[in-house]
Structure 1
Amino acid sequence: MDRFTPKLLKLYRAKKAAFGEDMEQLLERLDERVTDVVNHRRTTALKGLPLFLREDPNKLFKKCKDTEDGAKGVSIAILCVLEDDTQATSPEVVNIAVVLEQVVVLKDLPDISTALAYLFGLLYALNMSYPQALKYTFDTIQNVFMELGSGCTKRVLSLKNKLL
């Protein structure tokens, strides 16, 4: 992932107007970060990937408060559990988890990129189908980042050519 992060961020910045407000906000939050920049860049690259591939990132990246059951009704997701502090302007992430079939299968993960790697590994090892709403995102992870498999969709091939 570290090999592709700088190029992905350049692509996002070059075409951010085409992706609307979500991409703009994602890149603005990255620019505001002054600590742990490498992790924030990697996270921004991953959160921007579904947007860039014209998929809904909210189907993959979910948020909930620590007093809620964030896995309910979720088939596949990376769940960021936020502290339930009504006074905080930007609540702190207290847990990052992987959800499969409405069950938290892994929790207390260090960051989004680790959680996504575990999620992909579980889907791949269990031979589960990728969610239709995120097929290009997971196709990119499989064929570009992990270099597994030989065929990919035209959309992913186009992105791969831009990155290489």
Structure 2
Amino acid sequence: MEDLLEKLDEQDTDHEKRVLRGVSVAILTIIEDDDAAISPNVRDVAVVLEWTIVLQDLPDLSTAFAYLFGLLYAMDIDYPKEMRYTFEGIQTIFFELGSRCSQCIRSLKTNLLL
């Protein structure tokens, strides 16, 4: 019986490794296998940092989003290069944190205020 449990644990970690391969920063939403594709049932929401699930069992996406930004700030982690402007835009426009931003984000903010 213990051998079976160990194999199941190994399979779970292997699956987790496959899912997280190449993902440095993410919000992971696990949906129940259900035929209701219109309104799927969310089973779990987790925050991924540096290829590891650091928080799980979060109540909703907005909470996970806030935790993600809090952890990035607290741990002084740089935004992923390919998503730099996305994170910078969210930080400066929506969270209103920091006065310095790139020209690209300043232009977006101006266009949104028009």
Match of 2:81 among 132, 140, 146: 132
Q: What does residue 151 of structure 1 align with?
A: 100
Decide which structure has the larger Cα Rg and report it: 2
- C-alpha separation in 1, matches of 2:41 and 2:21: 22
* Residue pairs, 1:104-119, within 5 angstroms: 104-119=53-68
- C-alpha separation in 1, matches of 2:63 and 2:112: 21
- Structure 2 gaps, min length 5: 1-14
Task: Tell me whether 127-136 or 73-82 shows the greater mean CA deviation.
Answer: 73-82
Q: What does residue 97 of structure 1 align with?
A: 46
Letter in 1 for 2:66: A
| Bigger relative contact order, structure 1 or 2 (CA pairs below 8 A, ≥6 apart) | 1
* Residue pairs, 1:14-163, within 5 angstroms: 68-69=15-16, 70-83=19-32, 85=33, 88-90=35-37, 91-163=40-112
- C-alpha separation in 1, matches of 2:21 and 2:57: 18
Deviations along 1:49-87, whole A, 9 cap, x unmatched?
Answer: xxxxxxxxxxxxxxxxxxx4233442110101122x3x6
Question: Percent identity at matched positions?
Answer: 54
Count of residue pairs the alignment pairs up: 95
After TM superposition, give the deviation of residue 92 of structure 1 in Å. 2.5
- Structure 1 gaps, min length 5: 1-67
- C-alpha separation in 2, matches of 1:137 and 1:148: 14
**TM-score after normalising by structure 2:** 0.72
Deviations along 1:89-143, whole A, 9 cap, x unmatched?
Answer: 5242211110011211111222222211111111111111000111111101221
**TM-score after normalising by structure 1:** 0.52
